Amino acid sequence: MSTQIPKQTEKAEETEAETEAETPSKGDERRAEKRRRADEKRRQRQAEEAEKAAADEHTIELRVFRYDPDVEGKQEPRFDTFHVPFEKGMTVLDALMYARDTYDSSLTFRHSCRQAICGSDAMFVNGGQKLACKTQISELDEPVRIEPLPHAEVTKDLVVDMEHFYDQMEAVEPYFQTNDVPDGELEEQRQSRENREKVKMSTRCIWCGACMSSCNIAAGDNEYLGPAAINKAYRFAMDEREGEDVKQKRLEIIEQEHGVWRCQTQFSCTEVCPKDIPLTEHIQELKREAVKNNLKFW
């Protein structure tokens, strides 16, 4: 009887050992999971490299306007061709920077924030005014033709003289003026939600000049204030916090011969605005305000 018990025990131990041998340990499971993840990362990396290699093979043809009045041999306007490797998400500005840094360091254009805020890189791309930093190469037909803004004096390559545009903007006194200042030093000058909504879109102007460049009236009338300046006048004239005498002065500025009445409602400025400001609507509303301002009943 005593001799049978050890045999049964030994048999049970052998069975447990076989079961443990057949069942993977937690360590084995972790190692297998790590191998699986490593294989997945390797396949993902290979796919990305293959995609990048395919993109590198795809180049974009740029035809860029060139002009340099200070260099003999470059004073005659021309177009230079650059072939730039395409990358997903590439903008016109990215392509121009690659062409400048890789092929021709003398290629000149303005840019700053690269986030469609500064307005410095407005250009004429494939026949339309656009912000280079906002315009995707993938959305354009090839070859991509890049020129300076029309109806402005070209300084060099894609850079135009913006002095006249800034003068027109300053002519409407583009800053807040009020007669009703709060008594408390730190007290805010409050604005209603409704009034804020009314002027909200007009505040988005980034002074890029695209609207002015697209306007046929501005092209033929150098004294015309232009859609950007009139929009800026709208922003302050419609602000309920500004003084009535100042609003009256603004209306006198914009209703002059070369003000709102020169607009022919072509909507070209609205179409090219990179911030989607309804410029034409603002001009029409100021026309109505000017009419009401001049109506007298006696």
| pLDDT greater than 80 at residue 17 | no
Predicted confidence at residue 2, as pLDDT, reads: 46
The pLDDT of residue 210 is 97
Q: How does pLDDT run across 249-261, given as a tens digit for each residue?
A: 889 999 999 999 9
Count the alpha carbons within 13 Å of 24 in the hemisphere toward its beta carbon.
8
Report the C-alpha gap between 66 and 156 in whole angstroms.
7
Q: Where in the chain is the domain with CATH 1.10.1060.10?
A: 163-179+192-294
Q: Which region among 73-77, 124-128, 153-157, 232-236 has the lowest average model confidence (pLDDT)?
A: 73-77
Range(s) for CATH 3.10.20.30 in the chain? 56-160
Residues 6+ apart with CB under 8 A from 180: 189, 241, 243
Which token pair is 60? 């974009």
Pick the CATH number of 56-160 from 3.10.20.30, 3.40.50.300, 3.40.50.880, 3.40.50.970: 3.10.20.30
pLDDT for res 15:
52
Tell me what the pLDDT averaged over the chain comes to.
88
Task: Look at residue 57 in the predicted model and tell me its pLDDT.
Answer: 67
Domain 163-179+192-294 has CATH 1.10.1060.10: yes
Q: Model-level pTM? A: 0.76
Confidence of residue 39 (pLDDT cuts 50, 70, 90): confident
Whether 143 and 62 have beta carbons less than 8 Å apart is answered as: yes
Q: What is the mean pLDDT of residues 157-181?
A: 92
**Is the pLDDT confidence value at 153 over 90?**
yes
Position 264 pLDDT exceeds 70:
yes
For the chain, give the DSSP string.
-TTHHHHHHHHHHHHHHHHHHHSPPHHHHHHHHHHHHHHHHHHHHHHHHHHHHHHHH-EEEEEEEE--TTSTT--S-EEEEEEEE--TT-BHHHHHHHHHHHT-TT-----SSSSSSS-TTEEEETTEEEETTT-BGGGSPSSEEEEPPTTS-EEETTEE--HHHHHHHHHT--S---S---SSTT------HHHHHHHHGGGG-----HHHHH-HHHHH-TT---HHHHHHHHHHHT-TTS-HHHHHHHHHHHTSTTTGGG-----HHHHH-TT---HHHHHHHHHHHHHHHH----
Please give the share of the chain, as a percent, with pLDDT higher than 70.
Answer: 88
Q: What is the pLDDT of residue 1?
A: 43
pLDDT(14) > 70: no
